[in-house]
Structure 1
Amino acid sequence: MSEEIPRLDLLRFLERVQLQQLDQTRRWITDEEQRQAEHAARHPLPPPPDWVVEQGIGVGHRVVAVHQGWCRMAGRRVKSVPRDEALRLLGEDSGRACQQCRPDTELGVL
């Protein structure tokens, strides 16, 4: 007495199952976003430094550029410096000023 289930009914059943799985996945995503937001609120990133110098490679790590702390053009080899050090470095060589963030303009060197 086996009765065959129509194909359309099977497809509708499959659709319901997949929609339930999609809803579950969306709940998991919402939960994870909330966890990440709570973590970010408890552990905020420190503000960027006001001034950074980009150092070259090799012996001595010569300063190749001065940037404002937020500048995305600064490479990986950077360290923060105080305002007076940034002024001194730009005074020695104005060519060290980043052409994107213009620390020389912000520091009033021009």
Structure 2
Amino acid sequence: MTQPLPPGLLPPDLPRLEPLRAWHAMWLTLIDQAITDIKRQEAEREEGQKRRPPPPEWTIEHALGGPHLLTAVHTGDCWLLRHSGRMASVDRATARQALADDVELCGFCRPDTALGTID
């Protein structure tokens, strides 16, 4: 059993109630579509996070002159190179060799500590 509406809450006649219902139905459709879009975007973002390859273990930064001019060794997740295009992923042995060849090390991520090459 439905409870009676408070007086004056809605118009008492069909010519005014029907457009009001159509207006709200239109808004519910728009809101439902927005909810669907947001859920789809979140699902795509989560799928992208799952498929993203892991960061490299080590990176070597190179100078603007080219990849043959090595400037510094970094850990793979160093924030200094996060958006830089001047880096190359390398393995542990290559990173250790670069440090042995006197390529500078990053003072922020301290790859020498992670590589175990501190004297």
Q: Do these two structures clear the TM 0.5 threshold for a shared fold by scoring above it?
A: yes
**C-alpha distance 40-15 of structure 1, shift in aligned 2 (>3 A):** same
Question: 1:79 is matched by which residue type in structure 2?
Answer: A
Q: Distance in 2 between matches of 1:76 and 1:65?
A: 14
Residue in 1 aligned with 2:80? Answer: 73
Q: Bigger CA drift: 80-89 or 12-21?
A: 12-21
Residue 25 of structure 1 corresponds to 34
Unaligned runs of 5+ in 1: 1-9
Question: Normalization by structure 1: what TM-score?
Answer: 0.68
Check conservation: 1:54, 1:77, Cα contact below 8 A: yes
After superposition, the CA RMSD in angstroms is: 3.2
Where do 1:1-110 residues align within 5 Å? 14=23, 17-34=26-43, 36=44, 39-40=47-48, 44-58=51-65, 61-74=68-81, 75-93=84-102, 96-110=104-118
Count residues with an aligned counterpart.
Answer: 103
What percent identity do the matched residue pairs reach?
37
Q: 1:102: how far off? A: 0.7
Q: Could you tell me which amino acid in structure 2 is paired with residue 33 of structure 1?
A: E
Say whether the 8 Å CA contact 1:48–1:70 is kept in structure 2.
Answer: yes
CA contact (8 A) 1:66 1:98 kept: yes
Q: TM-score, normalised by structure 2?
A: 0.64
Structure 1: distance between partners of 2:33 and 2:89 = 46
**Whose radius of gyration is greater, 1 or 2?**
2
